[in-house]
Amino acid sequence: MVANATGCSSIYGGNLPVTPWSKNHEGRGPAWSNSLFEDNAEFGLGFRLAADKHLDLARSLARRLQDKLGADLVEEVLTAPQTRESEIRAQRDRVAALVERLQTLRADPVAKDLLSVVDHLVRRSIWIVGGDGWAYDIGYGGLDHVLSTGRDINVLVLDTEVYSNTGGQASKATPLGATAKFAAAGKRVPRKDLALQAIAYGNVYVAQVAMGANAQQTLLTFREAEAYPGPSLILAYCHCIAHGIDMQHGMRQQDLAVASGYWPLFRYNPIMRSIGQNPFRLDSPRPTIPFRDYAYNEIRYRALAQTRPEEAAALLATAQDMVKEKYRTYEEMAGWSPSRFPAIRTSESAEVLPLS
Q: What is the model's pLDDT at position 178?
A: 57
Distance CA 28, CA 46 (A): 22
How far is residue 94's CA from residue 87's CA, in Å, rounded to a whole number?
Answer: 11
Mapped onto helix, strand or coil, the DSSP state of residue 185 is coil
pLDDT of residue 182: 41
Residue 349 has a pLDDT of 44
191: phi then psi, degrees, rounded to nearest 5: -75, 155
Residues 143, 154: Cα–Cα separation, whole Å: 11
Contact present, 4 and 33 (Cβ < 8 Å): yes
User: DSSP characters for 262-308?
Assistant: SS--EEE-THHHHTTS-SEEE-SPSP-S-HHHHHTTSHHHHHHHHH-
Contact 243, 301 (CB under 8 A): no
pLDDT at 320 > cutoff 50: yes
Residue 341 is predicted with a pLDDT of: 53
Q: 82-86, 138-142, 242-246, 281-285: which has the minimum mean pLDDT?
A: 242-246
**In the chain, where the domains are located:** 2-121, 160-334
Of residues 243 and 356, the one with the higher pLDDT is: 243
The pLDDT score that the predictor gives to residue 350 is: 45
Residues 330, 326: Cα–Cα separation, whole Å:
6
For the chain, the distance separating the N- and C-terminal CA atoms, rounded to the nearest angstrom, is: 38
Q: What is the pLDDT of residue 234?
A: 98
- Per-residue H/E/C for 39-107: HHHHHHHHHHHHHHHHHHHHHHHHHHCHHHHCHHHHHHHHHCCCCCHHHHHHHHHHHHHHHHHHHCCCC
Residue 15 has a pLDDT of 80
191 vs 90 pLDDT, higher one:
90
CB 196: neighbour CB atoms within 10 A? 14
Q: At 165, is the pLDDT very low, low, confident or very high (cuts 50, 70, 90)?
A: low
pLDDT at 255: 96
Question: Rounded distance, CA 41 to CA 46, Å?
Answer: 9
pLDDT at residue 319 in the model = 85
Helix/strand/coil percent split, the chain, to 5: 50, 10, 40
The pLDDT mean for the chain works out to: 87
Predicted local confidence at residue 14, as pLDDT: 81
What pLDDT is attached to residue 174?
60
Residue 338: per-residue pLDDT:
64
The pTM (predicted TM-score) of the whole model is: 0.88
Percent of the chain topping pLDDT 90: 62
Taking residues 151-179, what's their average pLDDT?
71
C-alpha 161/C-alpha 319 separation (Å) is 15
State the CB neighbour count (10 A cutoff) for residue 335.
Answer: 11
* CA dist., res. 76 & res. 62, Å (int): 11
Q: Can you tell me the distance from the alpha carbon of 36 to that of 138, in angstroms, rounded to the nearest whole number?
A: 10
Cβ pair 266, 335 in contact under 8 A:
no
**What is the domain class of 160-334 according to CATH?**
alpha beta
Q: What is d(CA 287, CA 247) in angstroms, rounded to the nearest whole number?
A: 24
* Mean pLDDT (whole number) for 111-118: 96
Q: Cα–Cα distance between 131 and 46 in angstroms, integer?
A: 20
